[in-house]
Amino acid sequence: MDSIGERLSLKMKENGLNPNKIAVSTGIHPTTIKNYLNNIGNPDSLKLDKVAEVLDINLKWVLTGEGEVERKKELLKDEVVNHVAENLMYVPLVNQYAYGGYLNGFNDPTYIEELPKIPFLVEKEHKGDYICFEVKGDSMDDGTHESYLERDILLCRNVRKDFWKSKLHINKWDFVIVHKDNGICVKRIIKHDVEKGIITCHSLNDYYEDFDMDLRDVTKIFNIVDIQRKRNRR
């Protein structure tokens, strides 16, 4: 279940409910609930929590697919809603099938605006220009807790080009790199020759060799600040 709509649909079917019945219980217009089921627009967390309350499920699970499915009885509804509202970001998502389109449209504000947006729960509000990428392939999977698995969703912050002139924080962050010819890749930067503008990219999977990349051929660099992983995955 990859979306809010799929999770809501599952629980509505299990409870024998439909949008009209939910509307009667919550006072939310049936069309709004149908939009939630079809992943249209950005759900209002207050209204979505009313739906979750009727279904007796956890709002965090509805939004992200993570955490306990059943609603925590000991928490007051206002506490849950306020926490989620304060820590919820809606971020454009480039899934692995949209990599090619992003390479052509990353400078087009209309293209970015039309990308699907996903909710991301964060511990604090992040400042900067954010986008999410879905991991493709196994180059960053070495079987450890540091791995990025295929289909993981990475919350990424744009690293402005003026920062490329100083040594990147290679010991703190992993990166999503957008190369003019080689496309989008997730890598660990293990060396940055500032004078020559060359970075050395490393894959966690030993099958893939390290390689150098000229920053003149790079259009975007994002540092990875958070990750969403589906349940029951390593």
pLDDT tens, 141-190?
Answer: 999 888 999 999 998 999 999 999 888 877 778 999 999 999 999 999 99
Are residues 191 and 180 both part of a single domain? yes
Split at pLDDT 50, 70, 90, the class of 84 is: very low
**pLDDT above 90 (res 5):** no
Are residues 76 and 173 both part of a single domain? no
**pLDDT above 50 (res 49):** yes
Domain end point (choices 86, 120, 138): 86
Are residues 158 and 205 both part of a single domain? yes
Residue 226: which H helix or E strand, with range?
strand 218-228
Are residues 82 and 163 both part of a single domain? no
Burial degree of 99 (CB within 10 A; 0-12, 13-18, 19+): middle
Are residues 139 and 202 both part of a single domain? yes
Question: Which one, of 19, 78, 79, lies nearest residue 51 by Cα?
Answer: 19
Are residues 105 and 13 both part of a single domain? no
Domain end point (choices 58, 86, 114): 86
Q: Judging by DSSP bridges, how do beta strands 198-202 and 211-214 pair with one another?
A: antiparallel
Question: What three-state secondary structure class fits 28?
Answer: coil
How many CA atoms lie less than 13 Å away from 200 in the CB half-sphere? 7
Question: Which one, of 167, 155, 139, lies nearest residue 223 by Cα?
Answer: 155
In a domain, 233, yes or no: no
CATH number, domain with residue 68: 1.10.260.40
CB atoms within 10 A of CB 159: 20
* pLDDT of 217: 96
Q: What are phi and psi of 193, to 5 degrees?
A: -85, 95
Domain that holds residue 14: 4-86
* Total tally of structural domains belonging to the chain: 2
In a domain, 234, yes or no: no
Domain end point (choices 61, 86, 111): 86
In a domain, 115, yes or no: yes
Are residues 136 and 30 both part of a single domain? no
Alpha helices in 173-218 (DSSP H): none
**pLDDT above 80 (res 208):** yes
In a domain, 49, yes or no: yes
Question: Which one, of 90, 103, 100, lies nearest residue 220 by Cα?
Answer: 103
Split at pLDDT 50, 70, 90, the class of 75 is: very low
Q: Which residue has the higher pLDDT, 213 or 169?
A: 213
